[in-house]
Amino acid sequence: MVTTVENLDYRDLSEIAKEINSRLKEDNVIILFSKLPDRIIYVIAVSESLVGKGLTAPTIHDKIVEHIQGKGGGKKDYVQGVARKQPNIETIREIVSNLILKL
C-alpha cells in the first residue's frame, strides 16, 4: 500500500502503518507520505514475513529515495524520512512490486 495524506506527523503515520500491518499479517509493505506545510514526511513499514525473506524497509528506501529526493533511516522493518519532491505514487508502487516479485 502506497498513499499520500495531509497534515499527519510521524507518530500518526507510524500508528497507521502499524495498524494496517497488524491487520494484513503477511507479506505487505506500507508506505505513507504526509504533506505538511513546510515539507513531506514518510514512513515505510515492512511485514516481518517479508523481512524474513530478505526485503527490508532500508532496501525499499534506497530504491525510492532518488524519486522523492528523500533522506531517512530506521530499522529492518521500519524507516522514516523527509522528501523534498512530491512522490509519484504509481512509480513507487511499481518499484515496490518489482522488489517483491524478485523474492
Domain spans of the chain, in order of start: 2-101
The half-sphere exposure of 56 on its side-chain side, counting CA atoms within 13 A, is: 9
| Helices within 3-88 (DSSP H only) | 10-24, 48-52, 57-68
pLDDT of res. 11: 96
CATH of 2-101, one of 3.40.50.1390, 3.10.310.40, 3.40.50.1100, 3.40.50.620: 3.10.310.40
Q: What band does 26 get if pLDDT is binned at 50, 70 and 90? A: confident
pLDDT of res. 24: 87
pLDDT of res. 25: 73
Residues in the chain: 103
Q: What band does 103 get if pLDDT is binned at 50, 70 and 90? A: confident
Q: What is the rounded average pLDDT for all residues in the chain?
A: 94
